[in-house]
Amino acid sequence: MLVPIIGMEVHVELKTRSKMFCSCKNDPDATRPNQNICEVCTGQPGTLPVANRQAIEWTVLIGKALGCNIADVSKFDRKHYFYPDLPKGYQISQYDEPIAFGGSIHLSFELEENIRDEATIGIERAHLEEDTAKLTHDKDGNTLVDFNRSSVPLVEIVTKPDFKSAPEAKKYCQELQLIMRYLQVSNADMEKGHMRCEANVSLQEAGKFEIVDGMVKPLGDYKLNPKVELKNINSFKAVEKAIEFEIARQTKMIEEGETWVQQTRGWDENKGETVLQRTKENAQDYRYFPEPDIPPFEPMKLTEGVSLPEMPIAKRRRFHQEYGLSYSDAKILTDDTRWANFTEDVMTEVIDWLHSLPEVNGDSDEIREERKEKIAKLTGGWLTSKLMGKVESFDHVKFSAENFAELISLVYTDRVNSTNAQKILDEMLKKGTDVDPSHIMEEKGYGQISDEGALAEVVGQVITQFPDQVQQFKDGKEPILKFLVGMVMKATEGAADPQIVEKILREKL
Ligand SMILES: [Zn+2]
């Protein structure tokens, strides 16, 4: 049996104000080429790099968020290679003393989403380096260099080969993006190249190898199949598709008795396949040596007093445990920091309100818990399916958490039925400002009609409309009353208070 061994390497551009080793503006998406450049980031002789403290701090934060150890002492190294996007002829990176190492990330999966429901992925290291310039090839065959991206701070995060499937790799990249956004260190937009994912994939015979310290080791005389590095992956979907394609390609080769050498392949989105870019017979010699112009540094000392915000996985767990939101609602609501903050505020309001109800004070703990569960379910549903279903993004939500909580309280206390509450929500979204749902309810008459005078009139109409049923009820057929109540509800578009309707019907008949 063949099993895939997958490891990921992800590069993340940090959104510091200035670049990694100079004071140029860090804006890799700037539209005018070579707008934010200087002698340092164009690699001119005689210039001196000065490390960006913020970038080091943020790399420590990323390391901590991934459960890594932070090095006591770290340093930069020169990685040599020659390419037009690298004017110095070397990249300042980190070799043997990365800022962070030895962490892990926990992934969980829904049923049928993956071959296992939990996966713990080891994080080998997270180090800091500089991005390269950007090359574009015009239609006349010229290659143009844009140095805006040159020396933008870049964090490389390398995992151990712990993934067992393509969906796991995809989920990992999604979780990583979320962590970057929670930390507010990168927009981590894959389409814009803020986050670039590469996968190492190799298929091996089950039971013929072991993984020791993140290295795949053959057992006995088994010869490992070479790994294939996948690049040019620009979306989460492509992460999954590229790896799946590669697994199928290697499986076929092994079944047909073919062999291959270690190589780099690019994902071709249009063709839906991986394409050979270059083969690596031997590991490239980058002639690493310590960067002489930047002294070693102590990352922990530089980051004293910098604390880690709550991470997505902890927030999900807390939303479930503290507020009683279902795990799937908690997952949806924490996938975007703005939704997560909004949810937090709504839940706080709703629970405060619930505890302020006079009838709640006399409740037993058990009933209080039941009420909390009921309102969590209601709020979770209104946030995820109703509100999220009506807006494209959080940008469209202009009302406060307080007023959304108020809408929930109207539904919870049956002051408005679900259909009318949705109409109120539509109005709230349409207004584009913070607006009180109770006002809309009163203004539009969406509330439950409890006014006996108004209801008596409708009840009278129903009695005239259905004389046969009225007679049946008078003859002692009690269940027919439900039908008559239903007709009143229908006539008021569900707005009538059914208990009051029943009371009036009994009086009149
Ligand atoms: Zn510069």
> How confident is the model over 420-456, as pLDDT tens digits?
899 999 999 998 889 899 888 888 877 777 777 778 8
DSSP string computed for 29-54? T-SSTT-S--TTTTT-TT------HH
Distance (Å) from CA 24 to ligand 1 centroid: 4
Number of Cα atoms under 13 Å in the Cβ half of residue 12: 29
Distance (Å) from CA 25 to ligand 1 centroid: 8
Q: Examine the pLDDT at 498 and tell me if it is beyond 70.
A: yes
Q: Which fold has domain 452-508?
A: Arc Repressor Mutant, subunit A (1.10.10)
DSSP code of residue 215: E
Distance (Å) from CA 42 to ligand 1 centroid: 7
Residue 304, pLDDT score: 87
Q: Residue 11: enclosing H or E segment and its boundaries? A: strand 2-13
Q: How far is CA 339 from CA 256, 303, 313, 346, 382, in A?
A: 51, 29, 15, 10, 13
Q: Examine the pLDDT at 361 and tell me if it is beyond 90.
A: no
Name, in order, each residue with C-beta under 8 angstroms of 338's C-beta and a sequence gap of 6 or more. Answer: 394
Within 10 Å of residue 246's Cβ, how many Cβ atoms? Answer: 25
- Nearest residue to 310 via CA among 352, 347, 344: 344
Q: Residue ranges per domain, the chain?
A: 2-302, 312-444, 452-508
Q: Examine the pLDDT at 489 and tell me if it is beyond 90.
A: no
Name, in order, each residue with C-beta under 8 angstroms of 253's C-beta and a sequence gap of 6 or more. Answer: 259, 260
Which tokens sit at 40? 């340092």
Distance (Å) from CA 34 to ligand 1 centroid: 10
Average pLDDT over residues 134-152: 94
Query: Over the stretch 224-236, which tens digit does the pLDDT of each residue have?
Result: 999 999 999 999 9
Average pLDDT over residues 366-383: 91
Rg (CA), the chain: 31
Distance (Å) from CA 147 to ligand 1 centroid: 9
Residue 283, pLDDT score: 60
Model confidence at 478, pLDDT cuts 50, 70, 90, reads: confident
Distance (Å) from CA 16 to ligand 1 centroid: 13
Contact between 14 and 58 under an 8 Å Cβ cutoff? The reply is: yes
Within 10 Å of residue 466's Cβ, how many Cβ atoms? Answer: 16
Q: Examine the pLDDT at 376 and tell me if it is beyond 70.
A: yes
d(CA 85, CA 188): 22
Backbone torsions φ then ψ of 501, nearest 5 degrees: -60, -45
Distance (Å) from CA 63 to ligand 1 centroid: 26
Query: Over the stretch 69-112, which tens digit does the pLDDT of each residue have?
Result: 999 999 999 999 999 999 999 999 999 999 999 999 999 998 78
Distance (Å) from CA 96 to ligand 1 centroid: 26
Please report which residue ranges of 325-449 form alpha helices under DSSP H. Answer: 327-334, 337-356, 358-361, 365-381, 388-390, 401-412, 418-431, 437-444
Residue 261, pLDDT score: 92
User: Model's pTM, two decimal places?
Assistant: 0.86
Distance (Å) from CA 18 to ligand 1 centroid: 8
Query: Over the stretch 255-309, which tens digit does the pLDDT of each residue have?
Result: 999 999 999 999 999 999 999 998 876 667 899 999 999 999 999 998 888 889 9
Helix count and strand count (H, E) for the chain: 17, 16
Average pLDDT over residues 154-180: 97
Distance (Å) from CA 37 to ligand 1 centroid: 4
Which tokens sit at 469? 């049923």
Distance (Å) from CA 384 to ligand 1 centroid: 45
d(CA 6, CA 200): 5
Within 10 Å of residue 227's Cβ, how many Cβ atoms? Answer: 21
Distance (Å) from CA 144 to ligand 1 centroid: 18
Residue found under tokens 């962490």: 103
Average pLDDT over residues 382-397: 94
- Nearest residue to 2 via CA among 279, 289, 304, 250: 250
Q: Residue 4: enclosing H or E segment and its boundaries? A: strand 2-13
Residue 446, pLDDT score: 79
Write down the mean pLDDT value for the chain.
Answer: 92
Distance (Å) from CA 38 to ligand 1 centroid: 4
Residue 258, pLDDT score: 95
Residue 282, pLDDT score: 60
Within 10 Å of residue 115's Cβ, how many Cβ atoms? Answer: 11
